[in-house]
Structure 1
Amino acid sequence: MSGIAHDLSRRLADRAEAVCRHYLSNGRREGRYWLVGDIRNTPGRSLFVRLRPSAKGPAGKWTDAATGEHGDLLDVIRGSLGLPDFADVAKEARTFLSLPHPAPEPAAPRRHVMSGRSGAIEAARRLFAMSQPIAGTLAETYLRRRGIALLHGTGNLRFHPCCYYKPDDGPTETWPAMIAAVTDLSGRITGVHRTWLAPDGSDKAPVETPRKAMGDLLGSTVRIGVPDSVMAAGEGIETMLSLRQVLPNIAMAPALSAAHLAAILFPPALRRLYIVRDNDPAGDAARDTLIERANAEGIEAIPLSPALGDFNEDLQRLGIHALRTGVRVQLAPEDVVRFMNLAP
């Protein structure tokens, strides 16, 4: 992103709700998000804009759960008004922000909404190949600090001691990182997800965006265990690993975001899908989309809901016994015996 675009995007993010009310007037606010049908201001709930910064990312970022497209508020202006050139988008943004208009500059390249990062697939594969299994590493320390002790079937999770991190502004840094391989249904790596860690593994690294993905993610997931006729899919790696502490024998598929959860591809043998939702509007939209898609293919879809924000929060704050009790009543009866760890 150029300096001009970055500055305008930041200023718009500071007024994210006002931007949404003006350019996405057919939507409405729900909690920390603005929900609308798409970037063209169609009524609906597929696209969600984050109105305030949170652990999931900065304000002003949006994702369309139906398509996997994502961007910032400059893209909202471009899409809602149908502006083809960045110069026109910047002019409109300055008008909205009541900023002075500079002297004419050479036209900047057209900005595109990113629907994938296929150009980074090879780099993702190289990074995963250079990483090591998580046993005995800071990645294992990080997970155990979050209450996650059962780590069988996690070959798609690795550790890199010095993974590059590029801030929006400033020089490149290196931090230890948990590296997760994102794979398609054939097991081919299409991307990676990086979680940068504190030097002692006690938490995520103290950087602005400690989680980032690269590669072509749409339809793919981080696969934990081998999927059979039953599988659980959700957003975060830690969320799904927390659920696996009480369901150790079920395959898990973290999709890394609500948008990508809504768009996962189904294994051919899948007959029942547990949809692990986060307690927020984005999670609700992903759940609804995925239920509709699964039912259309003859797959039974059963939502699993946490008591708090997500299942890792349940595990850490309520404990494993409360987590087990809360999950058990949501499972199909035959899956309690088949998959659940009933140890006291």
Structure 2
Amino acid sequence: MESPAREIARRLGENAEAVCRRYLSNGRREGQYWVVGDLANSKGRSLYVRLTASSDGARPGKWTDAATGDHGDLLDIIAASGAHAHFRDTLAEARHILSLPPPDEQMPNPRSRKPAGGSAGAARRLFAASRPVERTLAELYLEGRLLHGPFGPSLRFHPHCFYRPSEDDAPGLPPAWPALIAAVTDEGGAIHGVHRTWIDPATRTKAPVAHSRRAMGNLLGHGVRFASSGAVMAAGEGIETMLSLREAAPTLPLIAGLSSAHLAAIRFPEALRRLYVACDRDPAGEAAFATLSERSQTAGIELCPIVPRLDDLNSELCRFGLDALRHCLTSQLLPVDADRFLARH
């Protein structure tokens, strides 16, 4: 028998265009797809949602983000839009827009739904099969971005990580590349996914593939964490962005959301009272900050932007150097936090 979650996802798919117009209003229909920037409803063409069934059996409502490799169904889009902490909240909203009655409380609980983007179990196995970053190609890659260790337990290196080519890749690519592997965890440290950055050993930069960065597992609400949670923390999109901030503020707890949509949906730690957001200077970054601003007001959390002069903090670090980045942060952190977290040399 079809599970309640699967049935709701199927019904949403039957109304895929209406759902997209409601939750991804900055996109538009192009042929058999709804095209938009990302899950945060940014303008662009990275994420596409199938609106009709295909001849090969693909169901309407399935989406893929070409920039991140993430994929899923319309329940994921509803969850990201509402920044839901629990899947039951997503199902409740989906039932409401479909005008379905609430579930019978006497019915047995449905099996948990597999998260989009790949298996969390497979992500944990990949992370366990990797090794520490130090003295590996991943360390050289990060040092090329002016990022220095120790990098902590969240980052590891895999010398031969499988890469699934897309239609945008040239034929004849190697089936695997060395990769920086980042653990995507909850506040308690449980791994729910991983993020992979494939590296070209010849250049020590990103591999020459169409999508050199991809995530797998259950990312929604979680992130790559550097240091334990506290009353004051910082969050941003990219791993390199947050490691750049750590160069200047080595004891400030950090979370990398890995994309604008996932940054907007991070779960606030219970102890959090003030959150700095390292903003990427693009429409997606602006949309993520706007969503976090609304959520933080409801949660009673003070939200403070950190805005670089260039597109992100790693570009700032690489172009102007650490002293200039530290000076930039001094003017944007509250004085009490600048005195506490910024390293002085």
TM-score using structure 2 length: 0.72
Residue in 2 aligned with 1:40?
Answer: 21
Taking a change above 3 Å as real, the CA distance of residues 107 and 303 of structure 1, as seen in their structure-2 partners, is closer
Please say if residues 153 and 225 of structure 1, whose CA atoms lie closer than 8 Å, have aligned partners that are also in contact: no
SS in 2 for 1:245: helix
SS in 2 for 1:63: coil
State yes or no: 1:323 paired with 2:321: no
Please say if residues 49 and 61 of structure 2, whose CA atoms lie closer than 8 Å, have aligned partners that are also in contact: no
Structure 2 counterparts to residues 1-12 of structure 1, below 5 A? none
Structure 2 counterparts to residues 110-129 of structure 1, below 5 A? 110-113=60-63, 114=72, 115=76, 116-117=115-116, 119-129=118-128
In structure 2, runs of 5+ residues without a counterpart are 1-16, 29-34, 64-71, 77-114
**2:40 is aligned with what amino acid?**
A
Residue in 2 aligned with 1:161?
Answer: 159
Please say if residues 66 and 262 of structure 1, whose CA atoms lie closer than 8 Å, have aligned partners that are also in contact: no
Q: What is the aligned length?
A: 269
CA RMSD of the aligned region, Å?
A: 2.7
Please say if residues 187 and 229 of structure 2, whose CA atoms lie closer than 8 Å, have aligned partners that are also in contact: no
SS in 1 for 2:20: coil
SS in 2 for 1:315: helix
**1:291 is aligned with what amino acid?**
S
Residue in 2 aligned with 1:5?
Answer: none
Separation (CA, whole Å) in 2 of partners of 1:135 and 1:126: 20
State yes or no: 1:86 paired with 2:53: yes
Residue in 2 aligned with 1:189?
Answer: 191
Residues 132-177 of structure 1: per-residue CA shift (max 9 Å, x gap): 000111111111111112x245211000000000101457611000
Matching residue within 30, 40, 44 for 1:65? 40
SS in 2 for 1:240: helix
Structure 2 counterparts to residues 1-344 of structure 1, below 5 A? 39-40=20-21, 62-65=37-40, 72-75=47-50, 78=51, 85-87=52-54, 109-113=59-63, 114=72, 115=76, 116-117=115-116, 119-149=118-148, 151-152=149-150, 154-169=152-167, 173-200=175-202, 202-343=204-345
Report how far residue 71 of structure 1 moved.
Answer: 7.1
Taking a change above 3 Å as real, the CA distance of residues 313 and 106 of structure 1, as seen in their structure-2 partners, is closer
Report how far residue 227 of structure 1 moved.
Answer: 1.5
Please say if residues 330 and 338 of structure 2, whose CA atoms lie closer than 8 Å, have aligned partners that are also in contact: yes
**1:65 is aligned with what amino acid?**
A
SS in 2 for 1:335: helix
Q: Percent identity?
A: 46
Separation (CA, whole Å) in 1 of partners of 2:213 and 2:24: 31
Separation (CA, whole Å) in 1 of partners of 2:203 and 2:270: 38
Taking a change above 3 Å as real, the CA distance of residues 330 and 106 of structure 1, as seen in their structure-2 partners, is closer
Separation (CA, whole Å) in 2 of partners of 1:332 and 1:213: 33
Separation (CA, whole Å) in 1 of partners of 2:255 and 2:146: 19
Residue in 2 aligned with 1:10?
Answer: none
Separation (CA, whole Å) in 2 of partners of 1:143 and 1:106: 42
Residues 6-62 of structure 1: per-residue CA shift (max 9 Å, x gap): xxxxxxxxxxxxxxxxxx9xxxxxxxxxxxxx8216796xx579xxxxxxxxxx663
In structure 1, runs of 5+ residues without a counterpart are 1-23, 25-37, 50-59, 79-84, 88-104
Report how far residue 187 of structure 1 moved.
Answer: 1.1
